[in-house]
Chain A
Amino acid sequence: MLLTINTDDPRPIYQQVADGIKQLIAGGKLEEGAALPPVRQLAADLGVNLNTIATAYRELQKEGLITVKHGSGSVVASLTSTERNQDELLRPLRTALTQMVLAGLPESKILRLVINELHLVGKGSK
């Protein structure tokens, strides 16, 4: 299972790593209980500061997507264990929808795009 970091991407590296892992979890490629590489391995493979990967893992842990067990590493948490409420989850979606409306996209096209993206993200899950 590969993850890709793009130097042209405006997002910081830790965000790209966190988002990449989130996508894999959402797509069912990383299942509940799957072990993630240690922070040191990922940081060395990418050639980045240890804190970069530690920050990405912290973000995933904060969102309840992974659990960090001392001594045995990080594993993908159960998807039902997320403690975030619906409002919090909807916030980025509202931002994206607002941008699409402001860009002048018709409602039907926005709906089509959202459905397509949902299919892409959820591809492979279940």
Chain B
Amino acid sequence: MPNDQFILLFYLFWWGARIRGFFRRWPQPLLRGSEWFFNVHVQPGFYAGPGKKILHRYRMRMFIPFVLDIPIVMAIFIPGYLQYFIWLLLAQAGVIHLNHVFSVDIAERQARRFAIADAEQPAAAISFSLQPRRLRDYTNPKVEWALVLSFLATFLWLLHYYFAAPEHHNLRQVFGVPVFYLYLQLGLLFVKQVIVAWRTPVPQTQAAEHIKAREETRKYYLLMCDLNRAAVAAATLFWPIVLTASPAASIRYRNLWIAVWVAITVVNGVWVEIKRKQLLKMALRARPVKLPDFLQQSEIARWPLCYQPSAPMLVLKGARGYSLNLANTLAQFGAVYLAGWVVLFAFLRMGH
């Protein structure tokens, strides 16, 4: 299968996942019943009155990523730059997620004006766990060793391949792909760190249910990260196989790789759906409660970006939605990591 067809197939799969996500988000405001709008306990008759418009606007905002998609897809498809589809879907994954997060926040703020007064009072008591949360507590050493060994094996194989005839090989061409994957691995480890640091304040009432739901969700996302890391490690190991094979064998291997990848994606898709349903069931058992805002976040975080060294959170819930705290170490690491991508691309393209 040629590269372009493979990318197109990948893009179609992406659309499948996207449509599934769309239908999952559509009924989300009503999952707790007609007395609720997401996590806001609304007055009776809300959906017949102001809620109808708020719900409609929320659903309309779900189409924003699709609207953004159309001109970009045409700009890529018409001149035949199919290789850019990968970048498009990576960007779209971020856009869809951010659009949803901000859209839910906007909708909840609008619905709060019609909430039951008592439900909007912050809980008087807040509980938190004294269990330390470190990356190593959520790490499986066997998996880590397997990933490290796969990378070592790849690099040793490529070193042997390159030094066998250095005059015939381009250093960037041989090592560019594994270096790219290695950096991607670092990024996924960073995402794991962010998930581990995800804050877990819970109200005193139903504290156990809230903590269980949060912890299971945390474990699910960490597992997803590890699955992606395993996929990246497999792709890294696959690179020297393709590189060192004859052209005919290389095509065979690639087709086999695509077939395996498609099968894994389908199985993974089914598993994700089952797991999401289990997590949702668990989350619905814990009744949403407004927690006290000790830091006056709406006062200190007025814009999407803020700098609050005394606030320990990566993301603050500000006056106009979420605000990324640039004083947080994780935000700074993230910025350095993104800058690293630019440097890496510049370096890899230098040889072209």
Contact = CB atoms under 8 A, between A and B. Distances in A.
Interface residues of B, number: 29
Interface of B: 122, 124-134, 197, 199-201, 204, 207, 211, 291-295, 297, 310-313
Contacts of B125: 4-7
A45 interface: yes
A44 B315 CA distance: 10
**From DSSP, what is the main secondary structure of chain A's interface residues?**
mixed
Interface stretch (A30-38, A77-85, A93-101, A115-123): A30-38
A3 B130 contact: yes
Contacts of B124: 6-8
Contacts of A49: 294-295, 310-312
Contacts of A43: 312
19 contacts: A1-B131, A2-B127, A6-B124, A6-B125, A36-B132, A37-B129, A37-B131, A40-B197, A40-B312, A45-B199, A47-B293, A48-B294, A48-B312, A49-B310, A49-B311, A50-B310, A50-B311, A50-B312, A51-B310
Interface residues of A, number: 29
B205 to A, nearest CB: 11
Contact of B294 (A35, A38, A46): A46
Interface string A1-27: 111111110000100000001001000
B291 A47 contact: yes
B199 A38 contact: no
A41 interface: yes
Given A41-B197, A44-B313, A35 B132 contact: yes
A1 B207 CA distance: 11
A73 interface: yes
B138 to A, nearest CB: 13
Nearest to A37: B132
A41 B126 contact: no
